[in-house]
Structure 1
């Protein structure tokens, strides 16, 4: 059995199978086909015609991949076009992934996206054609790190460099694009920022492009530019630059913010504070000298401040003394350790004051001037502590008053000098003197004195006394004139006896004595009067 097939073009094809494969079908084969079965010498009737439909293949005009070559990270656009109607597009990626559409995008292309991309265009009859395009993916450069050489501290504007590390390393074809604060741009591999201050701190961005035109992702670097720390003001002393020993010194300077330490340089070394002031509770002359301060802010030092010179004067030491104990009426002399340029301030009993170094009280009075005297001395504006001296003023004994005495007869009478009781001072001793100032003997506590050798003072002689009490002498007493007559040694001769009349006058005629004078007196009898007894 065989089969004879007749095409629309009346071409015949004989098969031994009831199937006629049509390979490489074209539109010329479209139309009605008939078949006749042939067995031995017999043929069957012609079959009813069957219509074969042949659709033309769709037309694929262009297949493109852009950009080409593409850089890693870019977006790949695949495009295909066909003038044929009612066609569909199916893309097959190198990885086997598929996508549909005349235009397909692949964002963020990776190196694994390199390879052949195939597109199949199919019509509604299932007829399709394919085409492909090769895509080359160039690697982009990676900015691994950006380093800067900005120091932690500075004393002025800086020149700062930004140095990137890239992968793969620059083969000499790379280009660089830096941008930053305040409109900063640079195309150097190492960016240079001149005259950098904190105003140029901020985010700096770098894009590196290879010779293939592939750009890195933007890499950011935060730059912190320190400002120079301004020098602090020279220390200022709250109480002035001249102080006295034991005063408190308080220095101050400019206030800073942040983590701040103030390092004060003093004549005795350094002191560190966290505030803008330094207090020294009790200064000494050793604190005299120059003071400066340096500030550390966030670990960075400022320049040294200007100098402030502080003078500390030693306080003088007052050493008061006096010439006491003194006797009433004597001069009281107050003494001090006198110093050139010093000011003296004496105080004492009953409102006493003086501003001289060694004041004198001409006539000391126990009631007014005895007691405690204070002295303080000011030198170079610094007062000493008050020092004291005790003054003792001893009262003088009362001026002795001698009573009148005599006349005395020598050697018969005891010649005694006596004081008026009202002038006697209890506890005093008395010294007795003749009118020439010759002492008559040792001082005695008795208010009377017996002349030890009256014969040495025959005639009229002046005597006086001086009282002494606790070392103080009284004024000289009054001078008493004392007469001492020597008893005559010759015998008196009254002359011969006389007789007279009652009521009459008799003239007595004695012998003239060889020494002394005579003195008449009535021995017996009455009614007698001696007219001139001497």
Structure 2
């Protein structure tokens, strides 16, 4: 048995019920079918029968299919965000607003289906409007590619709330019918790009069905009434689980911006078309697949004023690099957009930053984003972002320094590759002091309290971030040191003295503790040095002269004395002291009771330098002679010669 597929062809147009249209349909159908040689222009009965079939949507199988298509309308651009309102009729600025790159939610109600028997529905969208190559819709997506909530079952009953999905295939040579290669190649790239962008949300790439499952989707390309307006026909094959099914999808609005992955370039997007060029049309329903009914009344249109052009934005500068503690100013501008100026700005950034002004003054590193909205409240499709780099300032550390008069002090900080240094004294630049350390000239007390500052610049970045630190110089006076001169006699030692105590002696013949040894030294002056360091570790010294005096020349004269007598000893120079047995300090030797013989005595003399010398002398004690004086007698008036022994006495 033959079936009636009246307009299931690529260039089929919709019937509007006029007589010329009907005659055209009949003629086309008559050419396409041979129905036992029937002549429709001559046979009134057959014509009437055809009219019943067309307007009643009745096939020879007797199956009647009804359908209803609605768009999800989201209110005018000024309306607050709320769930879409499903309604018949055209979409226009008073009830809808969409941007290029979004998809208008579309639902198709099908009734009169045969449960569990495969069926299909074919619908089409305008893809290229007129001869200018401007794109209206370009491909199909899921219904939820807008900001508003899409609830497909709103206002409907009799549907299983659990949906089944089927990803729209990418157009290719195997499923595009007569689509020109150049077009489907471009569409395939854009659709693949969009699906890849939405890969984390498979529902956005799929047709949804309630009370059924989809098994296949194919595309066919064609012209509308032979004009330059081009369409894409999509046939969805599905198996209903009830007598009715609901298909939900999105018609993707062709985008103009070239930066969008689905963009067709400037002047080629949906917003550039005037009038109502955005058509969605249900062409036929087949249930079962062998029983197709071609439809002519299910056409939805969307006016061009429904497409709002979001503004774009720019930010100056596009990025900034600053030093810690500084700030950068970014200024956002709105560009174009359907609503135009004044623009609103919504900034976000690190640490919960937010602002609503065109310019922001910020100092925290990170990415700052701004969404610009036009006067209708329409936001830009993508935020403008800028990156703020904050470089740390160098943190030099300079310690205070102490030094003594007559010495130098060195101030320093850590050396870091890429850093430069400049030192200042009391905020006055020190020429040539460009290392990480600085050593002062010889210091005096006038330098006490000087402030030595270094400014360190980080040359590793464009910002030349700097940091500084300073140290205070304390100049301590040298201790007052007095080393006392001394005299010592040859062959002796002398303990040298100085003030303050606790220093160290140095020089020939002197120990560190100050004991000078004149042993073996010739008479004369000898220089020594006394060095002392105080609690501030300041060191001073003083010199002393040790005069080595020669010992005096002392001569003690020998002497003789008779036993029982005394003798005064003599020596040169006078004024010394005698010592020894039987002699007094003044040199009186007493031979009383001594046996004859030599006796040693010592004469010691100290000169004006207190140098002492001595000499020994021998005192010889002689025994008394044995004397015998002979008695004699003499007469008065006479003399007598006395005799004695030994002779010679008196």
TM-score, length basis structure 2: 0.42
Q: Which gives a bigger RCO, structure 1 or 2 (Cα 8 Å, sep 6+)?
A: 2
> Quick check: which has more Rg, 1 or 2?
1
Higher-helix-fraction structure = 2
TM-score, length basis structure 1: 0.49
